[in-house]
Amino acid sequence: MLLYRIRRGRNLSPLKAYAAAPAVLAAPGALRAAVTAALLPATADALRTVAAALPPLAARTALRIVAAALLLPAATLRQRIATAMPSIVAAALLLPAATGASAAFAAAPTPYAGSALFSASGELRAVDPLLTIFYNASTFGETRPCPTCGNGTYGGMARRVGLFREYRNAGKPCLVLAGPYEFTADDPFCYGHLAEKGRRAASPPAAEAVFARKLQAMLQVDAGWISRNAAAWLNNAAGGIPAGYLEISGEPRDKIVRTPAGPVGIVFFPEGPVPGKAPTPDQERQVLEKGRTLRGQVPLLLGISPWGLVAEKNFLPKAGGIFDCILGGGEGVGFGFSLAEKVPGLIWLRPDGKGRAVNVLELNSMPGGKTPFVWEEGRTFNARLDFMGESVPADKAALELIRRQETN
């Protein structure tokens, strides 16, 4: 996916390059030396060693990985190894330095070739939590699976449609949520970045809006965040936004969704002054007020954010005691979950982006608004980024719709 973006002339933020590293990092011997240097303190000498040990493109990506590692908590980084990162490179970078590079390589997982939700034969695995929450964000209208280092692929909208359909057909209680920047009109590399320069970008083609609305309807989203720009594009060219979505601009909105496990409250965080980045202090205050209002009405309160990794991380201490879970979006890497040590009742997860994976949060018990509630992996919840491999059955109708769009 990184190579795909480079071919399209797109710039990559350091944090987004982190998840795409397996596509470009090569030369195992040189890589081993580079990882050893990266595990040392990020001095200028260490960074120079990384840059010198790899080909130019890989070196640039390695430096971006180091930048990501410096921003995320250690616990979150280690968790990515187990649940979301199919890369030996990432495993070596994220393990504690004391283990050494050789131990890191030995402990690294094999490339992730499938789905934790489906067997290799494509059958739904027997998992029966009270409620399974599926979450995607930052897809930016991408529909195709992402090629892997081998011959396989991850993700794609047809697999996402198939995944949700299989769950619903099996009668498993689930909640399908869509976060910020799911549509082509939201793409910061093609459209959003112009807003920072005070320029107005042309909308994507009208035919693409009609296609996007039809494909989104197949997902049957229970609640979704859609930007003002994307909503205007769909309203003008496709006759309206998909069912379940709420248009979000400068103020928060909320929604209560009824599920078999009980009502779930959702606060849709407003878009900050720059799409995908930090909010204003007043917007933070409005979100907290909206959350306090909903808190007593629901056993589970979620916040869906477009604020980016850094702003969300800074917001977590303020959200503790109000929200149960923050589902992120905007700039930054994705991960299966993170538990803040100082905010034990709050779980935070972020999307992988471009549709390569889906966040899965399985709830074995509901917080119930009780204070304090402690998220405990394996007991009260399980969470991961599920890289939808080829074992996930693609929906045939969605495949045909995508095929027709690509041939027109």
Judged on CB neighbours under 10 Å (0-12, 13-18, 19+), 111 is: middle
**Structural domain spans, the chain:** 2-107, 131-400
Top CATH class, 131-400: alpha beta
The pLDDT assigned to 127 comes to 60
Distance CA 184, CA 276 (A): 14
Which DSSP helix (H) or strand (E) runs through 358?
strand 357-363
The pLDDT assigned to 41 comes to 37
Judged on CB neighbours under 10 Å (0-12, 13-18, 19+), 241 is: buried
Max Cα separation, the chain? 58
Judged on CB neighbours under 10 Å (0-12, 13-18, 19+), 46 is: middle
The pLDDT assigned to 371 comes to 59
Three-state DSSP class for 292? Answer: helix
Judged on CB neighbours under 10 Å (0-12, 13-18, 19+), 151 is: exposed
The pLDDT assigned to 54 comes to 47
Query: What pTM does this model have?
Result: 0.71
Answer for the pair 363, 324: CB distance below 8 angstroms, yes or no.
no
The pLDDT assigned to 364 comes to 92
From the CA atom positions of the chain, what is the Rg in Å? 20
Q: What is the mean pLDDT of each run of 10 residues along the chain (408 residues)?
A: 35 38 39 40 42 48 50 48 39 33 28 47 66 95 80 88 94 96 76 45 77 95 95 94 95 96 97 92 98 94 96 95 95 90 87 91 85 83 91 93 89
Distance CA 109, CA 83 (A): 10
